């Protein structure tokens, strides 16, 4: 089993501003990932422009192995100069690392990153280099399984100033909070959300600064296989299920007819839990050898809604799912645990849907939308039709 670079980020705006002055850009290229968190000078439109240009330029150039000297020079020549302050300025954190965890990091005037190894905080060694008059911290990286690197804009340490705290959130307090509130089951998105949510709480609903947290986590690959709907030809049911079961990883079956096909193939009984955890979501079922069995279209619709919320980088809604309804359990498997998702999609028209406002194209649209959202989360997706 190989390794996978998981990433995620969360932002919220300074109170009263429509645009965020922080920006995160990510490029996945070949076996590398490049992530940049930039913080533009000030707030609002000007800061947003500075941060956007900085993050896009750095992400594109660093991902193509262009030197930091050339990157900084390009930024200086490109950024518009603020008329009020007479400078073009954005702070930034850059990480560039491959699937083996080997890479580097540059940090300029952002709060220093926080690094967790074996779920314990550890200081990364860094050398100070000077590039075109700017002092930049450079760290060489060799990440191992479960290592997490957390970046932040200065909105995090500024949280609570003049309200819940006199001097803001000190670095040691941030590290202590993270140590107590992150665990090995959390994705990078969930880790970033934990810190961003705590920062927003310290601002008491009125952020005094744009605030962004981004995280990269080195983790082992985890494949989730999900079967949706029966195949067009009933005489291909055995091949359909056989192909599905041949794949290693977590196995999920969606749809009543599909579940019965799988149960028959395994010579097992399909049991239904009639306990409605959520009145809007049909209850789950149980098949020995299958990790999760759910209803089809209604559950998938709710899953799409959850995926849209999960992808919102301006929402500090919890990213982990503790409810036990079928859609929430699906979300936890697909959004938090999966690095690779294999869809097995049957193209048969479901007889149970006759007379209902559900046609065969709806299922395909749901699968397409879900695939797009999972790709936006950084997952590797494969879809097979039967």
| CB neighbour list of residue 312: distance below 8 Å, 6 or more residues apart | none
Q: Which two tokens stand for residue 206?
A: 């009125």
pLDDT of 132 reads: 83
DSSP secondary structure letter of residue 60: H
> For residues 327 and 303, what is the distance between their CA atoms, to the nearest angstrom?
5
pLDDT digits (tens, 9 = 90+) for 161-220: 877 666 778 899 999 999 999 988 899 999 999 999 999 999 988 899 999 999 999 999
Q: Where on the phi/psi map is residue 146: left (φ > 0), alpha (ψ -120 to 50), or beta?
A: left
Sign of CA dihedral 50, 56, 59, 63: negative
**Per-residue pLDDT tens digits for 223-252:** 999 999 999 988 899 999 999 999 999 999
The chain-wide mean pLDDT, for the chain, equals 91
SS3 222: coil
What integer pLDDT is reported at residue 131 of this predicted model?
87
What letter would DSSP give residue 234?
Answer: G
**With 60 as the cut, is the pLDDT of residue 355 above it?**
no
Angle in degrees, 0-180, between the axes of helices 360-376 and 297-311, rounded to the nearest 10: 30
Angstrom distance (rounded) from CA 107 to CA 110: 7
Query: What pLDDT sits at residue 66?
Result: 95
pTM higher than 0.85, yes or no? yes
Classified by CATH at the fold level, domain 3-220 comes out as Phosphatase 2c; domain 1 (3.60.40)
Q: CA 36 to CA 9: how far, in whole Å? A: 11
Residue ranges per structural domain of the chain: 3-220, 223-385
∠ at Cα 348 (343, 352), nearest 5°? 110
The two tokens of residue 71 are: 């990157």
What lies within 8 Å, CB to CB, of 72 at 6+ separation is 131, 132, 134
Angle at 94 between CA 92 and CA 98, to 5 degrees: 170
Tell me what the mean pLDDT of segment 151-164 comes to. 88
Q: Which residues contact 285 (CB under 8 A, 6 or more apart)?
A: 259, 270, 271, 272, 273, 293, 294
CA angle 183, 176, 201 (to 5 degrees): 85
CA atoms in the 13 A half-sphere facing the CB of 234: 6
Name beta bridge partners: 27. 34
Q: For residues 368 and 119, which has the higher predicted lDDT (pLDDT)?
A: 368
> What number is the average pLDDT over the span 338-363?
77
Q: Where are the alpha helices (DSSP H) in 121-253?
A: 171-181, 188-202, 237-246
If pLDDT is split at 50, 70 and 90, which confidence band does 84 have? low
């Amino acid at each position: 089993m190989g390794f996978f670079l998981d990433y995620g980020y969360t932002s919220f705006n300074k109170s009263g501003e429509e645009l965020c002055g922080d920006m995160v850009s990510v490029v996945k290229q070949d076996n590398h990932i490049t992530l940049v968190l930039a913080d533009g000078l000030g707030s609002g439109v000007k800061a947003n422009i500075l941060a956007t240009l900085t993050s896009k330029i750095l992400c594109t150039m660093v991902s193509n192995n262009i030197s930091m000297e050339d990157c900084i020079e390009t930024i200086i020549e490109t950024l518009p100069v603020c008329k009020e302050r007479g400078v073009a300025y954005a702070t930034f954190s850059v990480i560039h690392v491959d699937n083996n965890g080997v890479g580097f990091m540059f940090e300029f005037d952002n709060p220093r990153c926080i690094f967790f190894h074996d779920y314990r905080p550890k200081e990364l060694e860094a050398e100070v280099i000077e590039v075109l008059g700017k002092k930049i911290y450079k760290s060489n990286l060799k990440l191992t399984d479960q290592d997490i690197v957390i970046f932040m804009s200065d909105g995090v340490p500024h949280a609570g100033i003049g309200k819940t705290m006199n001097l803001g959130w000190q670095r040691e307090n941030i590290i202590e909070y993270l140590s107590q509130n992150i665990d090995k089951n959390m994705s990078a998105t969930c880790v970033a959300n934990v810190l961003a949510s705590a920062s927003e709480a310290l601002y008491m609903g009125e952020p005094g600064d744009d605030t962004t947290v981004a995280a990269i986590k080195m983790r082992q690959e985890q494949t989730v296989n999900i079967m949706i709907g029966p195949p067009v030809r009933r005489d291909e049911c055995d091949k359909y299920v056989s192909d599905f079961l041949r794949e290693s990883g977590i196995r999920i079956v969606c749809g009543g007819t599909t579940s019965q096909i799988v149960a028959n193939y395994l010579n097992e009984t399909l049991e239904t839990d009639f306990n409605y955890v959520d009145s809007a979501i049909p209850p789950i079922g149980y098949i020995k050898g299958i990790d999760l069995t759910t209803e089809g279209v209604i559950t998938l619709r709710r899953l799409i809604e959850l995926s849209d919320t999960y992808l919102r980088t301006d929402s500090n809604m919890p990213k982990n799912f503790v409810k036990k309804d079928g859609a929430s359990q699906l979300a936890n498997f697909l959004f938090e645990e999966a690095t690779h998702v294999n869809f097995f999609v049957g193209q048969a028209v479901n007889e149970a849907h006759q007379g209902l406002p559900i046609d065969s194209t709806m299922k395909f649209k749901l699968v397409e939308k879900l695939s797009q959202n999972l790709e936006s989360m950084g997952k590797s997706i494969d879809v097979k039709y039967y």
